[in-house]
Amino acid sequence: MDTPADKPKDTEVLRPKLTASIGPHIREGETVESIMWTVSAALLPAAAVSVYLFGAGSFSVLAVSIISAVLFEYAAQKMMGAKPTVSDGSAFLTGLLLGMNLPAGLPLYVPAVGSAVAILITKQIFGGLGYNIFNPALIGRAFLLASFPRLMTTWPAPDVSFSFAGVDAATAATPLAVMKEEGFQALASQFPSHAEMYTRMFLGRTGGSLGEMSALALLAGAAYLMYKGYITWHIPGSFLGTVAVLTFALGGDPIVHLLSGGLMLGALFMATDYVTAPQIKNAQLAFGIGCGAITVLIRKWGGYPEGVCYAIILMNCFTPLLDRAFRPSRFGAAGAKA
């Protein structure tokens, strides 16, 4: 018979079982704060290129996106009685990524609204950093595109040197928009040669959002993150590789598709988000392939010329399932079943 001393106490009965999430579990000296600020620093070269090309129209959009994201994060945490964590850099990074997904010269209330959606609805309502299901910056962009379609698809022409006088009134269609409406030959006819077309896209001399200005700057920032071990090749490689293979198979120019739109920014900096992307390597490969396939599907047959934003958001839905499907078997489990 159990004695009173042998019986479990109420607190022991109600104590939850130990739950071990998907690895890795080995702790290192890196912190969330250091990672967030390092990723933001890796984006600075691309942001600097956009500011050089668009001047005040770029600088103001980025500044308002970042400042409003930080303020909304602080206000939300204070209202909920939580300790403000804006110093960890996550709100700053969300605002920076949102700004990089917007065209220069927007009315400043537009990036502020996008930051509110990204921080308050996509992040804080779900519990804050680490609990959000979708990438906050991409949800903010998708909301703005649905709410302000004309403003979000008006692209100022680049080649504007830095000036606080504003952005040149001239606009330019993006390469993806030209291909969607008029075909590849119409796009190629705008350049002296294919080599010139590829070079200008690589360096960022075509129309588009702030994050579409320089594939070179984005690749340099991503290379540093890979060197630091913050991201791996699995998601970017499978994402970009799938787009290249499918566009080639469908008769398109894979180089143009790789260098056009928000593909580089999305594959290198947004699909690799720690919270909304899978953590298991094989699951990351499947995630990237899915993102690439949906991107090509929208670009080829969808009503909108770009598909990166929606591709990543849709694949965010499958992140838990992919991690579960590709979770390694426990050591000895197969033998025990046998």
Neighbour-count burial of 245, counting CB atoms closer than 10 A to its CB (0-12 exposed, 13-18 middle, 19+ buried) = middle
Could you tell me what percentage of the chain is helix, strand and coil, using 3-state DSSP and rounding each to the nearest 5? 60, 0, 35
Mean pLDDT over all residues of the chain? Answer: 86
Model confidence pLDDT, tens digit, residues 128-170 = 888 899 999 999 999 999 999 999 988 887 754 433 334 444 5
| Contacts with 217 (C-beta within 8 Å, 6 or more apart), sequence order | 45, 46, 48, 49, 204
* Res 334 pLDDT > 70: no
How many Cα atoms sit within 13 Å of 176 on the Cβ side?
27
pTM: 0.85
Predicted confidence at residue 161, as pLDDT, reads 42
Model confidence pLDDT, tens digit, residues 205-262 = 777 889 888 899 999 999 999 999 999 999 999 999 999 999 999 999 999 999 998 9
DSSP summary character for residue 210: G
Neighbour-count burial of 269, counting CB atoms closer than 10 A to its CB (0-12 exposed, 13-18 middle, 19+ buried) = buried
Stretch 175-190: mean pLDDT, rounded? 86
Model confidence pLDDT, tens digit, residues 43-102 = 999 999 999 888 888 999 999 999 999 999 999 999 988 888 888 899 999 999 999 999
Residues 178, 190 contacting (CB under 8 angstroms): yes
- Rounded Cα distance, 305 and 180, in Å: 6
Model confidence pLDDT, tens digit, residues 257-289 = 999 989 999 999 999 998 999 999 999 999 999
Q: Where are the domains of the chain?
A: 32-152, 175-325
Residues β-bridged to residue 156: 171
The radius of gyration of the chain from alpha carbons, rounded to an integer in Å, stands at 22
- H-helix segments, 120-174: 136-147, 149-152
Peptide bond into 24 cis (omega under 30): yes
Q: In whole angstroms, how far apart are CA 20 and each of 14, 24, 25, 263, 330?
A: 18, 10, 9, 35, 12
